[in-house]
Amino acid sequence: MEIFFLGVGEACDTAHGNSSSLITTGNGLRILLDCGFSVPHQYFRIVEQPEQLDIIWISHFHGDHFLGLPLLFLRLWQLGRTRPLTIIGQKGIESKVKTVLDLAYPTFERKLSFSFDFHVLHAQSSISVAGLQWSAALTQHSQYNLGLLLEDGSSRLYYSGDGRAGRHARELIQGADFVIHESFSMVDTFPYHGSVTSTLQLAEELDVGRMALVHLDHELRRNELPAIEAMIQTVPHAFLPVAGNRITF
């Protein structure tokens, strides 16, 4: 797989954008992991062809993870997309997506030149879509959030969305080749967010390949970056990505 980090920040991070990654699987499928406010502009800086996006995964319904969808759809329509777009998420994904599209651009869905293909993934379950295995676990977050394990037959990628990893999420993380995990604070200050400390503990306690720490509080990143980098350097397979990083594993 290949990961392109479109953004690595939280909702209010003007320097690093909302956390989102573009995944290219071993069989060439392109998958967008979450689509917050800033994501469409970042996406269209690197992708010009409207048909290239195959699937969108939405981890939960906070704005910095899914309110970029109307703008993404608008631009895909402007560019002439005709191929159906697959969208995968928790129960209610279809109604949420269509509601925010109508709020942003009333009646616009009727004009779209492409259709949506929705799939629902429940916590602690798996589905097969487009030849890939999708497995989910509920995380500890203020909104119902699903951590995702994506498998293409040769690589296993875990993406946390938001939230601290509980038992079921840890089971998905175990053995993953690559983990993208939110790390909002330095320590576990907030009950519904991970932290730099707890994410690094996951990297040390579980059998994983590489561990990327994203979604840091923007003030924490600005004020404590040397201390954060020093902590990360103690865990050889952990790192702090920035927008624009491209990793193949």
First to last CA, the chain: 6
DSSP E strands, the chain: 2-7, 20-24, 30-33, 55-57, 85-89, 116-120, 125-129, 132-138, 146-151, 156-159, 178-182, 210-214, 238-239, 246-248
Q: Which helix (H) or strand (E) holds 15?
A: none
| 181 within 8 A of 216, measured Cβ to Cβ | no
Whether residue 188 lies in the annotated active site: no
Token pair for residue 208?
């994983």
| Catalytic hit among 13, 54, 64, 152 | 64
Token pair for residue 57?
């995964």
Which residues are known catalytic residues? 64
